[in-house]
Amino acid sequence: MRRHQTRRTHISSDSDIDFGEEEDDDDEEEEDEDVEEGSAAARRRRRMKMKCLSCKEDYGDRTAGTCRECYEEAGETEEELKREIDDLKSKVNFLRLLSVGPGPVGPNCFTRPSTPCFTDVVLVASGSTDSADSQCSSPSIPAHRAVLTSRSPVFRAMLENEMEESLSGTIKISDVSYDALRAFINYLYTAEACLDEHMACDLLVLAEKYQVKHLKTYCEKYLMSRLNWESSVPYYAFAYQHGAKSLLEAALSLILDNMDKLSKQEEYMELVEKDPRMVVAIYEAYLSKQVNTAASKDSNAKT
């Protein structure tokens, strides 16, 4: 009887030990599962916060390599590169189709084509109404539709639709000299222009009219490099009329720095008579500058 009890005691104690081991194994498995879940959560958090390959900043989208801002900027850069490629293609087409003469002709370094080389459109400068060009027809300038349409959205709309210019193959451009139009077409082919102040103004007007933005910027920069006090008012008026923002700001800044001498300028008196709106804009900018200067002085005095 006592032996049976002892045996039962041993069995019960052994079973207790086995159950304890099983419970320990279960605890270890639960701990392992918790660690795995924790590491998985950490991995998910790391995935949720990734660094942009471009700007190195954290972003939440794990399906791409760049953040939204860098992606949009890359898209804009791609569009600019496409436009540059189109410009280069236009140059290549020009070099393939058009053979040029041995050297520059005229004061604007324009090389005249020796043969038409399959040109399919001509441009004619009608000149201004008070010039000699309006009394006699100027020579026509041959060109290629493919080049014109690739360089100017205005020419594209004109030549790709059933407009008079597209049907006749002749584009008449008013209020422009033959030399200016010739230099303009040369720029559309070669992206080069030999400028003086008068030619830069003429080409800027054409660039604005036919939406050739790079030529307009090029002419603005040239005129800004020639800007001085004597030319500040005429350039201001010119930039105001033709939407040349950079030239307008540069000329206006020079005028505001010399307001005490403004009323003595002959060009200023002419501007008062011709377009007083521009004079009002000058004085509005001057008053705004004075207010800002006074405000900055007050803030500096308080600090």
Residue after which a domain boundary falls, among 194, 214, 239: 194
* 182 in the same domain as 73: yes
Do 52 and 62 contact (CB within 8 A), yes or no? Answer: no
**pLDDT confidence bin for 64, thresholds 50/70/90:** low
Q: Which domain holds residue 137?
A: 67-194
**How many separate domains does the chain show?**
2
Taking the C-alpha atoms of residue 49 and residue 44, their distance in angstroms, rounded to an integer, is 9
* 237 in the same domain as 156: no
**pLDDT confidence bin for 73, thresholds 50/70/90:** confident
* 189 in the same domain as 75: yes
Residue after which a domain boundary falls, among 176, 194, 212: 194
What rounded mean pLDDT belongs to the chain? Answer: 76
* 190 in the same domain as 71: yes
Confirm whether 22 is domain-assigned.
no
**CA pseudo-torsion sign 291, 292, 298, 299:** positive
pLDDT of residue 66: 59
* 177 in the same domain as 73: yes
pLDDT of residue 6: 46
**pLDDT confidence bin for 16, thresholds 50/70/90:** very low
* 189 in the same domain as 252: no
Percent of the chain predicted with pLDDT > 90: 36
Q: For the ranges 28-32, 118-122, 131-135, 167-171, which has the lowest average pLDDT?
A: 131-135
Taking the C-alpha atoms of residue 180 and residue 65, their distance in angstroms, rounded to an integer, is 50
Confirm whether 105 is domain-assigned.
yes
- Tokens 């006592």 label which residue? 2
CATH number of the domain residue 274 falls in: 1.25.40.420
* 140 in the same domain as 95: yes
User: If DSSP states are collapsed to H, E and C, what string results for 40-105?
Assistant: HHHHHHHHHCEECCCCCCEECCCCCCCCHHHHHHHHHHHHHHHHHHHHHHHHHHHHHHCCECCCCE
Confirm whether 208 is domain-assigned.
no
Per-residue pLDDT tens over the stretch 173-185: 988 999 999 999 9
* 244 in the same domain as 159: no
**pLDDT confidence bin for 244, thresholds 50/70/90:** very high
25 pLDDT exceeds 60? no
The bridge status of strand 170-174 relative to strand 121-127 is: parallel
* 177 in the same domain as 95: yes
Taking the C-alpha atoms of residue 125 and residue 114, their distance in angstroms, rounded to an integer, is 20
Q: For the ranges 191-195, 245-249, 293-297, which has the lowest average pLDDT?
A: 293-297
* 248 in the same domain as 156: no
* 164 in the same domain as 98: yes
pLDDT of residue 32: 59
Confirm whether 12 is domain-assigned.
no
Per-residue pLDDT tens over the stretch 108-134: 454 444 445 577 899 999 864 444 444
Closest CA to 252 of 227, 273, 225: 227
Residue 19 or 166, more confident: 166
Residue 25 or 124, more confident: 124
* 188 in the same domain as 76: yes
Residue after which a domain boundary falls, among 152, 179, 194: 194
Give burial (CB, 10 Å; 0-12/13-18/19+) of 80: exposed
Q: At 219, which helix (H) or strand (E)?
A: helix 213-225
CATH number of the domain residue 183 falls in: 3.30.710.10
* Single pTM value for the model: 0.61
